[in-house]
Amino acid sequence: MAMSGGVDSSVAAALLLDAGHTVTGVTLRLWGGETDSGCCSVSDVEDARRVAAQLGISHYVFNLADTFMESVVDPYVAAHSVGNTPNPCVECNRSIKFGVLFERAVTMGFSALATGHHARVSQSPNGEWQLLRGVDDAKDQSYVLYMLDQTHLARTLLPVGEMTKAEVRSEATRLGLRTATKPESMDVCFVRREDRGDFLAARAPARPGVVQEIDGTVVARHEALAGFTVGQRKGLGVAQGEPRYVIAVDGPSATVTIGTQVDLLTPTLALRDMTFVAEAAPSRSEELSVQTRAHGSLGRGRIEMGELGSAEVLLCQPLARVASGQVVALYRGDELVGGGIVA
């Protein structure tokens, strides 16, 4: 049981015990930098340890800080330095939780890896594993698990996916768990939102450049490309009558292009590194739900596969552009079909 020190994984461990499983708790030590907030902090490790003791299960701490730096933090900095906007939580799930930890669980002889994510694992009548949205729409985390495949899902348990967040807290209170009222972290674990600029500036060249209108007219200069992302409205350094948004960030030239809200809309999304939960990609004729952020409204569209894992999502109605490096997940109702990264 991957125990983050939060209420979800605490209750998940208790539910597994109630279901008759033999449970071992593991907390990952991932970040020892100057920012020790969010999940995996020193206090979180202690909370997980004490919950495990209360439940009467073994608890271990795996130090994966070097792997985390190499697989999550360094790529995060590199992506921002060329104008991309990565999702470090997705990369942590891919490389750490369902990468290193999953492989270690298999090697050590455990039958399954469990986490506190709000999502559900199911099996269709034909025996195919499915990843479904969590029951609580407001807390659903299937989007950040889009990379899971049949091998992962066959050995993955997500005990709180059938519960609302309120029900999770109620159960934690009933059990007297110390994490029952613990607030959720809204920051990336290795950098607070307000510190992102300084964090990136200390680790990558600033790369100054220009801010231009969609017709190429230069309207301002900027000091650091990493400070911009598609869809951004504030901090553009321009004063125009109609609100302006970042509609493109060009890495090689460090150029930021701005436009109106209409310019921000696009009829297609180009994706790379596509993965699918099932073995095959969906048919081009099938209309799917398109999710471009962890939470927010959904679009509708069809997928057209290209070469080498690339794809184009043809939208039924234009959506706001999504920053390169972000994830687009595709759903069939509550079932996550797959997804990719914006090219």
What is the set of active-site residues? 92, 189
Decide: 77 and 190 in contact? Cβ < 8 Å. Answer: no
Contact 304, 312 (CB under 8 A): yes
Widest distance between CA atoms in the chain: 66
Q: How far apart are CA 139 and CA 34, in angstroms?
A: 29
The three-class DSSP label of residue 306 is coil
Question: What is the DSSP-derived secondary structure letter of residue 211?
Answer: E
Rg of the Cα atoms in the chain: 21
Residue at token pair 């990609």: 281
DSSP 3-state assignment of 235? coil
- The continuous run of DSSP H or E covering 304 comes out as strand 299-305
Position of tokens 């479904």? 132
Angle CA(47)–CA(49)–CA(50) in degrees, nearest 5? 65
Q: At what angle do helices 42-55 and 7-18 cross, to 10 degrees?
A: 20
Q: Give the C-alpha separation, 147 to 340, whole Å.
A: 8
259 DSSP β-pair partners: 245
Residue 85 tokens read as 């906007």
Report how far residue 25's alpha carbon sits from residue 143's, in angstroms, rounded to the nearest whole number: 25
Torsion of CA 10, 15, 18, 22, to 10 degrees: -70
Q: Which residues pair with 342 in a beta bridge?
A: 271
